[in-house]
Amino acid sequence: MRKVEESPFKGWIDTAAVRAKPSLTDFDLSGSVGELSGVQWFVFGAADDFMSHPALRRLGMAERNWLYAARLVQFLDDMTLTEHRIVNTAAQRVAEGRLGARVPEALALDALKLYTDEGYHAWFTAQASRAVREVFRIEAREGPGLKIPAIEALVAAAPAERQDLAWFLVGFVGETMITKAIVDVMRGSAHSAIQALLLAHLEDEWVHAKYFAHLFSLVWAGLDVSGRVYAGGLLPAIIGAFHTWDAAFHRQLLAHVGLDAAASERVLDKVGAETGRAAHQRARCANTLQVLERCGVFKDARVRAQFVTAGLLDRDRPY
């Protein structure tokens, strides 16, 4: 049986945000609406192609703050859904022991700790979204954006006997990518309450990333040749789905702040092209690719070729 001290969740009772940071439950943005919308909420920088686009410089601070806030709300809402609809579905499969004999029961049950964390993250993230929407008078989204359905459609298309593996791989990609996504948003944010919330989330996600990386090493070792080729095809598709670009959503935002149609299309073309670019995805999922490399995934020529075709690896260079 696996020793307790090997668990990435060692100390979880004392350190998980749900207990260590209970104040996040009442996430609140102090200050009046006028004060809050008058201070700059974002940081210019190369990390955010959208907010840094020259076409937005002609907008006033209130409009730029509103744009930043609307995209932050989108990020938070996607995060909330990812936690309970995507990651926790994967966590259920793990906890039910569906990943094969190589994953010991104690490790499988750790997925329920992760499940608990994600429930709390979903809650405080949804609270934060609501608070930002109130300040900036942003309407609640009616349904999920494009990303969540794109991920779900990928799993739904998997053969019945691969469903558990497909869900696990989705969880693995999501949980090894999320730390970078959170850090990127923190870098672009100039608001301390948002920073504190994201940092608390990040601290849990470092543990989750380690956990899923460890699980992956066991699952991969247990796959036969056809399972590896299947996983090798699905992983780049999952990475792509996590980067689904929503042009219509961004077009709506730009129209709301009064950007003319030609300028708006220039912004959308540039940012959309950048989001879809393999180099961008490689940077965002660097941690995921490192885990795959460590597990020897790219030693398999057929699997490697699938990553090269997706633009996530160079043909001639070692990872």
- In 3-state terms, what secondary structure has residue 42? strand
Residue of 64, 121, 133, 250 interacting with Fe ion (CB under 5 A)? 121
Choice between 21 and 121, CB closer to Fe ion: 121
CB distance 93 to 164 below 8 Å? yes
Nearest CA to 253 out of 83, 92, 108, 50 is that of: 50
Choice between 39 and 206, CB closer to Fe ion: 206
What are the C-alpha distances in Å from 297 to residues 77, 224, 292, 309, 316? 33, 12, 5, 15, 16
Q: How far is the CB of 282 from Fe ion (least distance, A)?
A: 22
Structure tokens at 120: 């709390």
Which segment (69-77, 203-211, 255-263, 268-276) binds Fe ion by CB under 5 A? Answer: 203-211
Choice between 136 and 212, CB closer to Fe ion: 212
| Position 270, amino acid | K
Residue 133 interacting with Fe ion (CB under 5 A): no
Q: How far is the CB of 122 from Fe ion (least distance, A)?
A: 8
Structure tokens at 154: 């990928």
Half-sphere exposure of 307 (CA within 13 A, CB side): 30
Which segment (26-34, 104-112, 114-122, 283-291) binds Fe ion by CB under 5 A? Answer: 114-122
For residues 207 and 190, what is the distance between their CA atoms, to the nearest angstrom? 26
- In 3-state terms, what secondary structure has residue 189? strand
Q: How far is the CB of 124 from Fe ion (least distance, A)?
A: 10
Q: How far is the CB of 194 from Fe ion (least distance, A)?
A: 16
Structure tokens at 283: 């940077």
Which segment (3-11, 66-74, 111-119, 189-197) binds Fe ion by CB under 5 A? Answer: 111-119
CB distance 180 to 209 below 8 Å? no
How many chain residues interact with Fe ion (CB under 5 A)?
Answer: 4
For residues 9 and 111, what is the distance between their CA atoms, to the nearest angstrom? 10
Which segment (43-51, 96-104, 110-118, 181-189) binds Fe ion by CB under 5 A? Answer: 110-118
Nearest CA to 201 out of 79, 70, 95 is that of: 79
Which segment (42-50, 54-62, 117-125, 157-165) binds Fe ion by CB under 5 A? Answer: 117-125
CB distance 60 to 95 below 8 Å? no
Choice between 133 and 208, CB closer to Fe ion: 208
Residue 208 interacting with Fe ion (CB under 5 A): yes
Q: How far is the CB of 250 from Fe ion (least distance, A)?
A: 25
Residue 64 interacting with Fe ion (CB under 5 A): no
Choice between 56 and 198, CB closer to Fe ion: 198
Residues that bind Fe ion (CB under 5 A): 118, 121, 205, 208
